[in-house]
Chain A
Amino acid sequence: MDSFELAVGDALAMPVPRAAFFDELLIALREIWEVPVVAQASQSAGHGHWVRAGSVAAATAGAVGAGAAWYGFKRRHRRSGVA
C-alpha cells in the first residue's frame, strides 16, 4: 500500500469500541450460549426441550435465537443508559 492508502486505513482505524460495550456484549453472548433462548422454536418443531444458541440444533433456529437475544441485549443496553 502507498502512503495515501495507509492514511485512509489509519483514518478509518480511529474509532475504538467502548470498554463497557466490549464487556456487556461478551456477557450477553455468554448468556445466549449457555441459556435456552428459543423455546418457541423447539415447541413448534415438536420437541420437548429447549434449543440452545451455539448448539447444532440452534443452527436451524439461529435467526430466532439471535433476534431474541439481540432484542434482550438492546433492552438492557438502553436501560443502562450507555447506548
Chain B
Amino acid sequence: MRADAILADMIDMTADLDDETLAARVAGDFDAFAELYRRYLCPVYRFVRSQCPDESTAEDITAQVFFKAISSASSFRGEGSYKAWIFRIAHNSVWSWRNGRARSVIAVEEVPETVDPTPSPAAQAITQEGRGQVWRKVAELPPAQREVVALRYLQDLTVEEIAEITDRSRGAVRILLHRARSKLRSTMDGKEVG
C-alpha cells in the first residue's frame, strides 16, 4: 500500500483526537498510529538530527524510534503525555547510538542540507546563514547540554518533562540548561546573527 493511500484512509477519522486517545487505539487501529506518526515524525527527526552528524544517521535513528513506538505501543499507559513517551524512546535511541559510536561532538561542518525554508515568524529576521551559525554553536555543546537545549527550545518541553525523558533530576536539567545558555550567549554575544 502506498503512503498516500494509507494517509487518505485515515483523513478525518483521527485528526481531532488527542495523542493519548490515539495511543490507546494503536494495537487495533493502524490509522491511530499513522496519525501519531504524521504528528511526530518531523519533531522526532529534528530532535535526532540535532544530536547526530548527518541525515543518514538521523534517518536510521528516527526509523528505530518509530519501530520501537509501534512494537511497544501497549507499554504506553497514559500516565504522562505521549509526546514525553516518544521523546523518551528518542532519547534512549540517541544515547544507544552515541554509546555505540563513542562520539561526543557533532562534526560542526554538518549543517543540515534539507532545511525548512520558512523560519518561524519570530525569527524571520535571521538569515539562513545566521541559523547555520546558531546550529554550529549548539553542535559544539557537550551532548547532555545539547540534548536539553533541543528538548527545551526546539520541542518546548518543560523542565519536568525533560527530567522525566532524560532520567535526570529537575535540578540537574536546570543546571545543564543554565550552562548551555551561558556558553551559547558567551560565544554569540557581540556577533550579528544574520
Chain A contact residues, CB within 8 Å of chain B: 1, 3-18, 21-30, 32-34, 53-56, 58-59, 62-63, 65-67, 69-70, 73-74, 77, 83
Q: Which residues of B contact A62 (CB under 8 A)?
A: 68, 71-72, 75
User: Are the C-beta atoms of B134 and A30 separated by less than 8 Å?
Assistant: no
Interface residues of B in 31-79 (CB under 8 A from A): 33-34, 37, 41-42, 45-46, 49-50, 55-56, 58-60, 62-64, 66-68, 70-75
Range, interface on chain B: 35 or more
User: Are the C-beta atoms of B116 and A66 separated by less than 8 Å?
Assistant: no
Q: A11-B133, A33-B30 are in contact. List 8 more A-B contacts (CB 8 A).
A: A11-B131, A17-B45, A18-B114, A26-B3, A26-B6, A66-B71, A73-B63, A74-B60
Residue in A6, A14, A58, A63 whose CB lies within 8 Å of B116: A14
CA distance A11 to B131 in the complex (A): 5
Q: Which residue of B lies closest to A59 (CB)?
A: B74
Q: What are 10 A-to-B residue pairs whose CB atoms are below 8 Å?
A: A6-B123, A8-B184, A13-B154, A21-B62, A22-B41, A27-B6, A32-B70, A69-B67, A69-B71, A73-B63
User: Are the C-beta atoms of A29 and B72 separated by less than 8 Å?
Assistant: no
Q: Which residue of A lies closest to B72 (CB)?
A: A62
User: Are the C-beta atoms of A66 and B72 separated by less than 8 Å?
Assistant: yes
Known: A54-B73, A62-B68, A63-B71. A30 touches B63 (CB 8 A): no
Q: Which residues of B contact A54 (CB under 8 A)?
A: 26-27, 30, 33, 70-71, 73
Interface-centre pick from A10, A16, A25, A53 (highest chain B CB count, 10 A): A10
Q: Which residues of B contact A1 (CB under 8 A)?
A: 153
CB of B112 closer than 8 Å to a CB of A: yes
User: Are the C-beta atoms of B71 and A58 separated by less than 8 Å?
Assistant: yes
User: Are the C-beta atoms of B30 and A27 separated by less than 8 Å?
Assistant: no
CB of B8 closer than 8 Å to a CB of A: no
User: Are the C-beta atoms of B6 and A16 separated by less than 8 Å?
Assistant: no
CB of B103 closer than 8 Å to a CB of A: no
Residue in A11, A14, A23, A29 whose CB lies within 8 Å of B66: A29
Residue in B37, B58, B134 whose CB lies within 8 Å of A7: B134
Residue in B46, B67, B154 whose CB lies within 8 Å of A73: B67
Interface residues of B in 96-128 (CB under 8 A from A): 111-112, 114-116, 119-120, 122-123, 126
